[in-house]
Structure 1
């Protein structure tokens, strides 16, 4: 019978659905399915200890040796105890979510679900079988999360890398769970992928004192001053404020609808913020931008970066102060004012985990001050 090892032999085969098989080892075979087009695809077969036959589509290979190598690797993984069924990155992530819910870790499950929904589910990366996942696949996935352009500053890049590191940690947790469940035989596809270094610590000048805020506001042009005030009063991201329309502020209920990287949220604002936003909305209607530049357009990174740097220099503030420092300052003031972490996270569109990890020390300092005022003996 004509074999499948050489291209010449394979060219003589008749197209059919049933593969032409060749034995690789005891219980293990490699098959070649000849297509009507004249080309073909490879498949592997392995008989498990339970006596059942398991199959794995290997795809297209030009050479027999390449296909045989892939088949042997799959069979070896099965012999080591890995599941012969194909498990994708997406399936592993969903299984991890379910495991977190079973362990009553609902907050963590919600957090990773959001990350995987944005970066894994429905993507080409998510469809990669675990036993075919390569280090380069994970590194590329990580690098793709870092969006750089000529206008990105150091703080933009730091925040992007910090966020990517948290996404990588969630992915590795899911894949390690799949490894422990024997859905894959090795962690070689992701074990050596390292997180970005020295990106967790915020700039030392990220928090602005009350005096620094006043000096900054004095040096801002009228249009920029309104954007700065909006950030301090809401703690929102600058991009979220740039997208605001007049109709997004509900004067009756003092509520603001924001849209950005975490989706849409409607939150209550302080009395001071409500008065400020009401004044802005008074002269604008419908889909008109609530905050505009001196030329009448919406704000974006291109339009705020240079004038903000000029205002920082004019106010004699440290040169590494960036617009995002205003959000950090607002969140810090909320925490120091005694607001619950869940409420702060909801208002500012972030996670409780992020609030606790980056601002928890402020709450401890507040509690310590109160404890110090209590006489024990």
Structure 2
């Protein structure tokens, strides 16, 4: 997902009041070849986008009014954040690949789909990573001539290919040793299903854009069934406490924030003091994986944590920073998480994303409705929550079995306590 740029002079209407009125916009670079500008007038300002078009030349266009005097409406009046989104979309349209002459291939469909995702602020990282699994067999195929049998054959081949290993650029791709146990087969089929989903999404986009007359061929291809049954790893309350206590102070704040919110690592690292509303006890996640914003409701414990994190800071300051006072970067959480798990004697090691699973799993087991869990996590419906956590929720079946199943009295009592407490 594209990260938002912050600028203390332009972030908020109050900050922009201090800027002198002038005809030349105040510019901020938000992407390569793209600047967002604020042209300050006597009674308010307007947002402009400046696009680099080559040979030291730029094109400047006015895109909307700033929210200086009126609330932003998302169309004609925009916040600094919304103006960035629109400027990026306009820039992407200007730099969109020219229509290609000749057959429209699967590779063309993937290119167009990734371009659309990035313009909509959706994360295209997974698509970019997995598209090589599509290109190898189907990339040069003409979309209009692609058959269901070809897709099924490719889908089956993906499911039978061992997982890829990290390989240096330009070297032949390396793979793990093939495994034939049921768990390995299930995982490979689950991977094949995820790649099939990407292929279908790209082909569906091509169909909606009129690049092909029919979608019937790929609609006939079914994914493998009953393969998404992996156990979600989560921590018990005692394990979570041990983990928190084992962390270095700066990383401890990040871990506690994840346990209190269920938010993703990237969402947490972008939080500012202004995103925390102590009056109602909520956090605003302005940039999520789907591109939508959401409000996360905090417990009293969570409110205390974020009140402490924001103490003495300005509204535009980051809530969570590393020991040097800088923002946590990509993958910077991996090594501290491994070290903390080792110190806390948590085995197998759990990844940082497992803290999100921990919040959701414990919430479901405490009886929180799945719809509420989905809203907190940022899902548009309960399907993903039901898939991963539905088995943890209280049900009349589980209650009936525990109430009516026979007891044999053959299990001996023991005073041995597990590490989980």
Helix, strand or coil at the partner of 2:283: strand
Distance 1:274 1:128, change over 3 A: farther
Distance 1:304 1:374, change over 3 A: closer
**Residue 134 (1) aligns with residue 163 (2):** no
- 1:317 Cα offset (Å): 2.1
Does the 8 Å contact 2:243/2:344 carry over to 1? yes
Structure with max Cα Rg: 1
In structure 1, the partner of 2:319 is 290
Distance 1:243 1:192, change over 3 A: same
Of residues 276, 289, 299, the one that matches 1:249 is 276
Does the 8 Å contact 1:336/1:366 carry over to 2? no
Helix, strand or coil at the partner of 1:266: strand
Does the 8 Å contact 1:205/1:321 carry over to 2? no
- 1:301 Cα offset (Å): 2.6
In structure 1, the partner of 2:288 is 260
Separation in structure 2 between the aligned mates of residue 299 and residue 201 of structure 1, nearest angstrom: 32
Separation in structure 2 between the aligned mates of residue 193 and residue 134 of structure 1, nearest angstrom: 19
In structure 1, the partner of 2:376 is 347
Distance 1:166 1:345, change over 3 A: farther
Separation in structure 2 between the aligned mates of residue 313 and residue 293 of structure 1, nearest angstrom: 20
Task: Flag the structure with higher helix content.
Answer: 1
Of residues 232, 240, 243, the one that matches 2:259 is 232
**Residue 270 (1) aligns with residue 241 (2):** no
What does the per-residue CA deviation read over 1:279-333, in whole Å, with 9 as the maximum and x for residues that have no partner? 2122322111111111101122343221111112222223542100000111111
In structure 1, the partner of 2:240 is 213
**Residue 335 (1) aligns with residue 357 (2):** no
In structure 2, the partner of 1:89 is none
Distance 1:282 1:196, change over 3 A: farther
Q: What is the 5 A alignment of 1:66-145?
A: 132-137=103-108, 145=126
Of residues 345, 365, 368, the one that matches 1:316 is 345
Of residues 250, 262, 282, the one that matches 1:223 is 250
- 1:219 Cα offset (Å): 1.4
- 1:357 Cα offset (Å): 1.5
Separation in structure 2 between the aligned mates of residue 185 and residue 235 of structure 1, nearest angstrom: 38
- 1:177 Cα offset (Å): 11
**Structure 2: which 5+ runs fail to align?**
1-88, 115-123, 130-165, 168-187, 406-421
- 1:128 Cα offset (Å): 8.7
Of residues 291, 309, 313, the one that matches 1:280 is 309
Q: What is the 5 A alignment of 1:1-16?
A: none
What does the per-residue CA deviation read over 1:56-108, in whole Å, with 9 as the maximum and x for residues that have no partner? xxxxxxxxxxxxxxxxxxxxxxxxxxxxxxxxxxxxxxxxxxxxxxxxxxxxx
The alignment yields a C-alpha RMSD, in angstroms, of 4.6
What does the per-residue CA deviation read over 1:320-371, in whole Å, with 9 as the maximum and x for residues that have no partner? 42100000111111211222222111111124211111211112x5443433
Q: TM-score, normalised by structure 2?
A: 0.47
Does the 8 Å contact 2:361/2:392 carry over to 1? yes
What does the per-residue CA deviation read over 1:160-213, in whole Å, with 9 as the maximum and x for residues that have no partner? 9986654545566788999xxx943973xx5799979999455x5721122321
Q: TM-score, normalised by structure 1?
A: 0.52
In structure 2, the partner of 1:62 is none
Separation in structure 1 between the aligned mates of residue 279 and residue 371 of structure 2, nearest angstrom: 25
